Structure 1
Amino acid sequence: MVCPFDRAQALEQRQRDQAIAAQLAQPRPSGPSHTHCLDCDDPIPEKRQALGGMIRCVPCQTLFERTAR
């Protein structure tokens, strides 16, 4: 007999794996990064710019992603 906790843990792991796979399947931005945020005009940190294709600072990108859901 399968323990309900084991089934719940397996379901949670499966959902987590699906969510990670969905995020990894999304296209990554490419090309040169902006030096200042498109929304608030604050400077984008150099480490973030090094990722390539960054157009927003972290707070603005977070807000953008939350409203896109």
Structure 2
Amino acid sequence: MDLQINLEQFEKTIDNKLGTILFHRPGFQGIPDEVLHGDGYTVELKNREVVIIDIYNPSSMMTKVIGEDFQRKAA
């Protein structure tokens, strides 16, 4: 599933103490239909739209993203 996300539609909350980043749609209430778990993050969907992006371990997530990018460039 390819997700296209316009972050301008989200509010961002950063917890400087924990280093977590939360993107959420203003006014979203209720329980998501689906939760996608990744390495250091979760993405929550309601009616096939992203409503929450919770990055709870940004260093782990970025290490994986940067590592994959370096591997592609080296190939």
TM bucket (normalised to shorter chain) is under 0.3
- TM-score, normalization by structure 1: 0.26
- TM-score, normalization by structure 2: 0.24
Point out the structure with max Rg over C-alpha.
1
Kindly indicate which of the two structures has a greater share of residues assigned to strand. Answer: 2
